[in-house]
Amino acid sequence: MPEIKEDKVLDARGLLCPMPVVKASKEIRSLEDGQILKILATDRGSIADFPAWAEDTGNELLEWHEEASGELVFFIQKVEED
Protein backbone atom coordinates (compact mmCIF):
# COMPACT_ATOMS: atom_id res chain seq x y z
CA MET A 1 0.00 0.00 0.00
CA PRO A 2 1.45 3.39 -0.94
CA GLU A 3 2.15 5.81 1.90
CA ILE A 4 -0.41 8.56 2.32
CA LYS A 5 1.17 11.97 2.70
CA GLU A 6 -0.72 14.20 5.08
CA ASP A 7 -0.86 18.00 4.95
CA LYS A 8 -1.63 18.37 8.63
CA VAL A 9 -1.59 16.21 11.75
CA LEU A 10 -4.13 16.33 14.56
CA ASP A 11 -3.02 14.76 17.80
CA ALA A 12 -6.26 13.70 19.49
CA ARG A 13 -4.62 11.12 21.72
CA GLY A 14 -6.05 11.05 25.23
CA LEU A 15 -9.24 12.81 24.15
CA LEU A 16 -12.62 11.14 24.52
CA CYS A 17 -15.94 11.53 22.69
CA PRO A 18 -16.95 14.03 21.36
CA MET A 19 -13.63 15.91 21.38
CA PRO A 20 -11.82 13.98 18.60
CA VAL A 21 -14.52 14.85 16.03
CA VAL A 22 -14.88 18.38 17.44
CA LYS A 23 -11.12 18.98 16.99
CA ALA A 24 -11.13 17.30 13.58
CA SER A 25 -13.95 19.54 12.39
CA LYS A 26 -11.92 22.59 13.40
CA GLU A 27 -8.70 21.35 11.79
CA ILE A 28 -10.28 20.33 8.52
CA ARG A 29 -11.69 23.82 8.09
CA SER A 30 -8.14 25.15 7.77
CA LEU A 31 -7.39 22.75 4.89
CA GLU A 32 -8.08 23.19 1.20
CA ASP A 33 -10.02 20.87 -1.07
CA GLY A 34 -8.07 17.64 -1.59
CA GLN A 35 -5.68 18.16 1.31
CA ILE A 36 -5.28 15.37 3.86
CA LEU A 37 -5.62 15.43 7.64
CA LYS A 38 -3.90 12.70 9.64
CA ILE A 39 -5.51 12.07 13.02
CA LEU A 40 -3.92 10.22 15.92
CA ALA A 41 -6.40 8.96 18.49
CA THR A 42 -6.70 6.61 21.41
CA ASP A 43 -10.48 6.75 21.91
CA ARG A 44 -11.81 3.36 20.73
CA GLY A 45 -15.10 5.04 19.85
CA SER A 46 -13.22 6.84 17.07
CA ILE A 47 -13.25 3.60 15.06
CA ALA A 48 -16.97 4.08 14.50
CA ASP A 49 -17.06 7.86 14.85
CA PHE A 50 -14.60 8.98 12.17
CA PRO A 51 -16.15 6.93 9.32
CA ALA A 52 -19.60 8.25 10.32
CA TRP A 53 -18.33 11.81 10.69
CA ALA A 54 -16.56 11.65 7.31
CA GLU A 55 -19.74 10.43 5.63
CA ASP A 56 -21.86 13.15 7.26
CA THR A 57 -19.47 15.93 6.36
CA GLY A 58 -18.77 14.67 2.83
CA ASN A 59 -15.05 14.31 3.53
CA GLU A 60 -13.33 11.07 2.58
CA LEU A 61 -11.82 8.63 5.00
CA LEU A 62 -8.94 7.32 2.86
CA GLU A 63 -7.54 4.82 5.31
CA TRP A 64 -7.33 3.98 8.97
CA HIS A 65 -5.37 1.47 10.99
CA GLU A 66 -4.33 0.54 14.48
CA GLU A 67 -0.68 0.73 15.45
CA ALA A 68 0.93 -2.05 17.46
CA SER A 69 0.77 0.34 20.44
CA GLY A 70 -3.04 0.44 20.13
CA GLU A 71 -3.00 3.98 18.78
CA LEU A 72 -5.46 4.69 15.98
CA VAL A 73 -4.46 6.53 12.82
CA PHE A 74 -6.98 8.03 10.40
CA PHE A 75 -6.37 9.77 7.06
CA ILE A 76 -9.19 12.04 6.00
CA GLN A 77 -9.21 13.97 2.76
CA LYS A 78 -11.08 17.25 2.65
CA VAL A 79 -13.83 17.39 0.07
CA GLU A 80 -15.30 20.85 -0.42
CA GLU A 81 -19.07 20.79 -0.52
CA ASP A 82 -20.50 22.05 -3.79
Partner 1 sequence: MLETDKLTEDLVRQVVREEIEKAFKKDKAARRAAIIASKGTLDWAYPPLIVATAAAAASMDAAIFFTFYGLNIIHKDFEKKLKVAPTGNPAMPMPVPMPDVLTGMPGMKAVATGMMKSMFRKKGVATIKELLDVALELEVRLIACQMTMDVFGYEESDFIDGVEFGGAAAFLSDARKSHVTLFI
**Interface with partner 1 (CB under 8 A):** 14-19, 21-22, 24-25, 49, 52-53, 56-57
Is the backbone of residue 62 left (phi > 0), alpha (psi -120 to 50) or beta?
A: alpha
Q: Which CB sits closer to partner 1, 56 or 67?
A: 56
Q: Which CB sits closer to partner 1, 4 or 48?
A: 48
Closest CA to 62 of 24, 25, 31, 34: 34
Whether 52 and 25 have beta carbons less than 8 Å apart is answered as no
Q: Which residues, listed in sequence order, are joined to residue 8 by a DSSP beta bridge?
A: 37
Q: Which of 4, 17, 47, 52 is catalytic?
A: 17
Q: Which CB sits closer to partner 1, 3 or 81?
A: 81
- The answer to whether 17 is a known catalytic residue is yes
| Residues involved in catalysis | 17
